[in-house]
């Protein structure tokens, strides 16, 4: 390419300093109507500028249509540049018969860009293609056959399909038929305007080289665009398929959990009722007052267990369907209220509670959900404590740097093999487990709903520590500073 440009300059066919000067001047006049940001020394035709000028919102059309609109804008600018280059070349060589065609090729892309700006996308594409076809037809019948002007019918035909969506394939076929008709008319029609002076042979050869490279470049770019668009569509389909598969897997997991949940809940709801039914039958058959009182206490225990289980289900449902609040909470006060509410739990009076949180500690979170978390963790520590130890202890503290609340006990601890399952639904990790297996599962669900996390550190026979990490809000830091 550089070699034949050098030859042109040496032959004085093109005076390149003069050409550049003309091109720059004409480009400034041509683009002055369009506020595409440029400096005095350089016009910047970046994608962002084109997109901003023609007001294409990437999120409004589809991804494919957005690319087609950008291709239309690029082809419009390319047509203007080609028209200016050919006009300059012909003027310098005193060839004037194609100047009207270049004027059309210069003005129509401006109209196309304006139509894009008005969001009349299809009209902009059709106008550009019709004008390009007519210009190529005019050049084909006026230029000598040896210049290869007929080659431009190929990129124009490809462009008709590249710019239009599949939904507009009929318009694409009509434009392609229009291109073919003009080609046949120009080739076989023997239409040659009179009073046209044949250019020099050197000009004809140079024109052929230029026509070949420009038509080939435009055709390859259009084909590359179609291939790239097809690849992007395939990738998008693959991503959607992966996303759908992932969602299906998640739904399957949810369905499995729901089936298990329904089965376990129905079993756990029926079990106390069956026990109560059996105890009432025993009560009818006894006349012993002490035995009757014992049966009533057992019935009360079953009712309390049923009540606790229903509360857990309500907590789970509330956590799933309600939005989180963000309110100031005095953590020390909330912990003290939770401990007082659990004072009458079985064996709670045998435990020493250590609250290591100052009353002035304030965090911003959801009070109801934080109450569920503290209630489940402290109740768990009470239930699974080791009362053979001299001083059964439960310690509740707060780490301001991490916005973390921890509950530590010196109870029976949790075996290592169970620690990664302890938060699973309906999991019971000990022979002493009398609960539903929902408590810690609900605790983790609530913590995650708040945007936090929970970790367990435990040694079997020594005790456990549950640490709840909550999101650190700016006002939480200010409140505790």
Mean pLDDT of the region 118-139: 83
pLDDT > 90 fraction of the chain, expressed in percent and rounded: 14
Q: What angle do CA 83, 88, 90 make, to 5 degrees?
A: 95
Q: Are strands 352-356 and 362-365 parallel, antiparallel or unpaired?
A: unpaired
Q: In the predicted model, is pLDDT for residue 325 greater than 90?
A: no
Q: In the predicted model, is pLDDT for residue 318 greater than 50?
A: yes
Contact between residue 159 and residue 221 where contact means Cβ atoms under 8 Å apart = no
Please give the Cα distance from 71 to 52 (Å, whole number).
14
Please give the Cα distance from 300 to 164 (Å, whole number).
76
Mean pLDDT of the region 71-95: 81
Q: What are the tokens at 41?
A: 């020394």
Please give the Cα distance from 102 to 215 (Å, whole number).
16
Please give the Cα distance from 295 to 21 (Å, whole number).
108
Tell me whether residue 167 is exposed, middle or buried, using C-beta atoms within 10 angstroms of its C-beta: 0 to 12, 13 to 18, 19 or more.
Answer: exposed
CA-to-CA dists, residue 79 to 18, 40, 153, 265, 381, angstroms: 21, 23, 14, 72, 78
The model's pLDDT over 229-244, given as tens digits with 9 standing for 90+, comes to 677 667 778 888 888 8
Closest CA to 106 of 124, 131, 125: 131
Mean pLDDT of the region 156-164: 76
- For the chain, domains (ranges, CATH) are 2-239 (no CATH), 324-480 (3.30.565.10)
Mean pLDDT of the region 420-424: 85
The predicted pLDDT at position 36 comes to 38
Band of residue 395 on the pLDDT scale cut at 50, 70, 90: very high
The predicted pLDDT at position 436 comes to 66
Name the residue with higher pLDDT: 443 or 154.
443
Q: In the predicted model, is pLDDT for residue 429 greater than 70?
A: no
The predicted pLDDT at position 457 comes to 93
Q: In the predicted model, is pLDDT for residue 411 greater than 80?
A: yes
Please give the Cα distance from 108 to 94 (Å, whole number).
24
User: Other C-beta atoms within 10 Å of 59: how many?
Assistant: 7
The model's pLDDT over 3-48, given as tens digits with 9 standing for 90+, comes to 433 443 444 333 434 434 443 333 333 333 333 333 433 434 455 6
Name the residue with higher pLDDT: 85 or 454.
454
Q: Which residues, other chains included, contact 175 with Cβ-Cβ below 8 Å and sequence gap of 6+?
A: 126, 129, 130, 133, 157, 160, 164
Please give the Cα distance from 422 to 441 (Å, whole number).
8
Closest CA to 306 of 273, 355, 340, 345: 273
Please give the Cα distance from 373 to 229 (Å, whole number).
51
Name the residue with higher pLDDT: 246 or 152.
246
Q: Are strands 393-399 and 352-356 parallel, antiparallel or unpaired?
A: parallel
The predicted pLDDT at position 368 comes to 87
User: Other C-beta atoms within 10 Å of 323: how many?
Assistant: 7
CA-to-CA dists, residue 83 to 293, 393, 465, angstroms: 105, 89, 78
Provide φ and ψ at 283, rounded to 5°: -65, -35
Q: In the predicted model, is pLDDT for residue 110 greater than 60?
A: yes
Band of residue 118 on the pLDDT scale cut at 50, 70, 90: confident
The predicted pLDDT at position 174 comes to 85
Q: What are the tokens at 107?
A: 């003005």
Contact between residue 150 and residue 215 where contact means Cβ atoms under 8 Å apart = no
Please give the Cα distance from 409 to 230 (Å, whole number).
62
String of b and e for 129-140 (b: at least 16 CB within 10 Å)?
Answer: bebbbbbbbbbb
The predicted pLDDT at position 74 comes to 79
Closest CA to 95 of 232, 207, 251: 207
Provide φ and ψ at 383, rounded to 5°: -65, -40
The model's pLDDT over 353-382, given as tens digits with 9 standing for 90+, comes to 999 998 889 999 988 889 889 988 998 899
Choose the weakest-confidence range: 22-36, 40-54, 175-189, 412-426: 22-36
Contact between residue 210 and residue 8 where contact means Cβ atoms under 8 Å apart = no
The predicted pLDDT at position 268 comes to 62
**Mean pLDDT of all residues in the chain?**
77
């Amino acid at each position: 390419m550089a070699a034949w440009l050098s030859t042109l300059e040496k032959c004085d066919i093109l005076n390149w300093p003069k050409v550049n000067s003309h091109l720059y001047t004409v480009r400034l006049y041509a683009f002055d109507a369009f506020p595409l940001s440029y400096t005095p020394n350089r016009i910047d035709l970046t994608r962002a500028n084109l997109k901003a000028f023609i007001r294409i919102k990437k999120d409004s059309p589809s991804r494919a249509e957005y690319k087609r609109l950008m291709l239309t804008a690029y082809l419009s600018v390319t047509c203007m540049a080609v028209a200016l280059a050919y006009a300059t070349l012909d003027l310098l060589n005193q060839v004037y018969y194609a100047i009207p065609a270049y004027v059309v090729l210069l003005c129509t892309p401006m109209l196309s860009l304006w139509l894009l700006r008005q969001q009349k996308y299809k009209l902009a594409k059709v106008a550009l293609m019709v004008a390009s076809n007519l210009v190529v037809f005019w050049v084909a019948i006026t230029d000598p056959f040896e210049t290869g002007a007929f080659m431009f019918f190929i990129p124009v035909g490809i462009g008709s399909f590249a710019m239009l969506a599949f939904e507009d394939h009929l318009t694409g076929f009509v434009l392609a038929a229009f291109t073919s008709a003009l080609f046949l008319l120009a080739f076989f029609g023997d239409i040659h305007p009179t009073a046209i002076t044949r250019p020099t042979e050197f000009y004809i050869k140079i024109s052929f080289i230029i026509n070949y490279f420009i038509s080939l470049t435009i055709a390859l770019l259009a084909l590359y665009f179609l291939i790239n668009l097809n690849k992007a569509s395939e990738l998008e389909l693959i991503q959607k398929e992966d996303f759908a598969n992932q969602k299906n897997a998640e739904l399957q997991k949810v369905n499995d959990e729901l089936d298990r949940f329904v089965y376990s809940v129905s079993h756990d709801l029926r079990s106390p009722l069956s026990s109560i039914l059996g105890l009432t039958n025993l009560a009818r058959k006894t006349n012993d007052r002490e035995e009757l009182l014992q049966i009533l206490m057992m019935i009360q225990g079953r009712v309390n267990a049923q009540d606790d289980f229903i509360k857990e289900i309500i907590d789970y449902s509330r956590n799933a369907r309600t939005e989180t609040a963000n309110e100031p909470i005095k953590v020390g006060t909330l912990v003290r209220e939770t401990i007082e509410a659990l004072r009458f739990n079985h064996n709670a009076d045998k435990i020493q509670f250590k609250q290591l949180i100052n009353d002035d500690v304030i965090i911003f979170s959801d009070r109801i959900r934080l109450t569920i978390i503290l209630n489940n963790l402290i109740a768990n520590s009470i239930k699974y404590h080791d009362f053979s130890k001299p001083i059964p202890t439960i310690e509740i503290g707060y780490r301001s740097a991490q916005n973390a609340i921890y509950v530590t006990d010196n109870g029976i601890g949790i075996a290592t093999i169970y620690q990664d399952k302890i938060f699973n639904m309906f999991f019971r990790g000990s022979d002493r487990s009398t609960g539903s297996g929902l408590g810690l599962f609900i605790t983790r669900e609530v913590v995650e709903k708040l945007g936090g996390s929970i970790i367990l550190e435990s040694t079997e026979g020594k005790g456990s520590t549950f640490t709840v990490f909550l999101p650190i809000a700016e006002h939480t830091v200010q409140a505790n500073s």
